[in-house]
Amino acid sequence: MRPDNFHRHETALEAPGRTMNFPLLPIDRIGSPLRHKIETVEALGGDTRFFRFAANAPHIVRLYWVQFYEEVFFKGVLPVRLKEIARLRLAALNGCSFCQVGDRASALAHGVSEQEVEALFGDGQSASFSQAEQAAADAASRMSNFDPEGVLGEDLRQTLQRCFQPAELVELLAVIGILTGMARMLLASGFITRTCEVRPE
């Protein structure tokens, strides 16, 4: 059901073949932590419309940006750098403009080099990655929305099991799965378009 004030919000979103109208809250009505995220992405030149749409549901903001990001992605049992590698690989493949902008800056801030960033936007392979980091990037590639097979494969599953303890592997696959699901929602609802092709191997 639409709220009574649905038409009082700014609405804007173009999708191929149709106009999709979503209620976007003005930034002065958005609190922390989402307001800081919006300001950061805007400063980097990214698109903030989805964040302003999500602000209509504070419980979803808490679920995704507090419980998932603050308590799992930036804490958890895995190094943040490794999760940044997996996340940026997904952003590169999914073609999400505001993810690419924000995730790139965050990856650099958590120790991913410029050369490694470029590799993640290329074939996803870097000689400077540890075995665990490369396995995480490979898992992100296989679990992305645009992988032609969409399965990890036996060799990669064995590598993941060698590189990670059970709790670490649960966290890695859950992080990739959650981010992939969000990317699929953003694509389906028209907030992003596919701009990156998966390179065949």
Q: Please state the domain extents for the chain.
A: 8-72, 79-188
CB atoms within 10 A of CB 158: 12
Q: What is the pLDDT along the chain (201 residues), one digit of tens a residue?
A: 333 333 333 333 444 434 357 899 999 999 888 898 888 888 888 788 899 999 999 999 999 999 999 999 999 999 999 999 999 999 998 866 667 777 898 999 999 999 999 999 999 999 999 999 999 999 999 999 888 888 999 999 999 999 999 999 999 999 999 999 998 898 888 887 655 443 333
Helix 154-163 × helix 131-143 angle, to 10°: 140
Q: Which residues make beta-bridge pairs with 35?
A: none
145: Cα within 13 Å, side-chain hemisphere: 24
Q: What is the CATH number of domain 79-188?
A: 1.20.1290.10
Residue 201 makes CB contacts below 8 A (sequence gap 6+) with none
Average pLDDT, the chain: 85
122: Cα within 13 Å, side-chain hemisphere: 8
Q: How far apart are CA 37 and CA 65, in angstroms?
A: 9
pTM: 0.83
CB atoms within 10 A of CB 183: 22
Rg (CA), the chain: 17
27: Cα within 13 Å, side-chain hemisphere: 10
